[in-house]
Amino acid sequence: MRRCVQVTTGARLHFGLLDTTAPFGGIGVMVNAPQTEIAVFPHDSFDCQSSIRSRVMPIVERLVAHGGLPRPPACRVEAVQLSPAHSGLGSGTQLALAIAEAIGRFVGVSWDQATVAAVIAGRGKRSAVGVHGYFHGGLIYENAETPTDVNPLCRRIELPAQWRVVIVEPTQRSPQICGEAEREQFASLANQNRSGAGVESLHSILLEEILPSADAGDFNRFADAVQRYNRASGMLFAEVQGGPYNGSAVTSVVQQLIERGMTGVGQSSWGPGVFAWFDSQEKSQSFVAALPATMRLIAHAGPQNQPRSLSVSQHQ
């Protein structure tokens, strides 16, 4: 019998961190588009699609070492769908987790979630929203008292299925912060005061407004709180991104959306993805149909309240 594994996951919107130093903490949500889909199937020797090779090989090396395998498994790894990279959608985490879990299941091992994330995929070092979102879906609040390999899941809430979110980016080129550039940005912020009023305000908005309104399905209160939280979290990074949002192009998009009456507006992670929330498909679709020329559509999505989809099939 030949084992084939397929993993499909959504995208992660990050509403913002709670602090600029470890353990950071934060809140975000999984949405059902754009998707990342990875397939692993038998092959004469280990092989993978060239477009994802740089992502796959370090994961395979860690998997072989941790699993005590003599060599990489005889399989081929292919990306059926990929979420846009460096857009604020957590695509790197979703891709790494899908690769790690799919290959692990192919060789017949099923590690705990923290091992898959931290040891095999090498993710969750700062934010664990995407990690918990991958395994559980929904609105994710994660935090810890002291730094850990993967911050624990504090609360998970399923958002109303009828809510929608539109994710856009400026048509004007925007700065991308990832990899070494991201490490440098965090290093420059490491000495900021952890007990400042801004950090306290973020905790208050998250615990007293976002979580209760999400629990109650109160859209207006939720959207207002997310928008204020996102801006306040962005201000923690104003020194390195020039304000609450990353660069003038993203700032302009946020301002345009607010001026047009959109709610729940914010920058996901470092951007350039900008989100706006709607309480119905009808309202979100009307906005998408009249998208301004200054914006490019990334996704029109709904909440993903389920974990990633994983299927293992056997073939002769």
Q: What is the pLDDT of residue 191?
A: 59
**146/252 same-domain check:** no
pTM of the entire predicted model: 0.94
**79/175 same-domain check:** no
Q: What is the pLDDT of residue 178?
A: 62
Q: Residue 2 — very low, low, confident or very high, per pLDDT cuts 50/70/90?
A: confident
Q: What is the pLDDT of residue 196?
A: 65
**Angstrom distance (rounded) from CA 295 to CA 293:** 5
157 vs 196, residue with greater confidence: 157
**Angstrom distance (rounded) from CA 61 to CA 64:** 5
**CA-based nearest residue to 38, from 22, 51, 24:** 51
pLDDT one-digit tens code per residue, 237-283: 998 899 999 999 999 999 999 999 999 999 999 999 999 999 999 99
Average pLDDT over residues 125-130: 94
Q: What is the pLDDT of residue 193?
A: 46
Average pLDDT over residues 159-177: 90
Q: Residue 181 — very low, low, confident or very high, per pLDDT cuts 50/70/90?
A: low
Q: What is the pLDDT of residue 176?
A: 67
**236/260 same-domain check:** yes
**186/64 same-domain check:** no
Average pLDDT over residues 191-217: 85
**99/237 same-domain check:** no
- pLDDT score of 195 more than 70: no
Task: Please report, for the domain that includes residue 261, its CATH number.
Answer: 3.30.70.890
- Number of structural domains the chain divides into: 2
**287/181 same-domain check:** yes
Share of the chain above pLDDT 70, in %: 92
**148/185 same-domain check:** no
Bridge partners of 36, per DSSP, are 9
- Distance of CA 55 to CAs 12, 52, 176, 241, Å? 18, 5, 19, 27
β-strands 26-42, 47-48 pairing:
unpaired
- pLDDT score of 194 more than 60: no
**185/292 same-domain check:** yes
**11/147 same-domain check:** yes
Mean pLDDT score across all residues of the chain: 93
**111/69 same-domain check:** yes
Report the amino acid identity of residue 174.
Answer: S
Task: Please report, for the domain that includes residue 55, its CATH number.
Answer: 3.30.230.10
Range of the domain at 9: 2-158+305-315
**7/44 same-domain check:** yes
Bridge partners of 12, per DSSP, are 30
**239/288 same-domain check:** yes
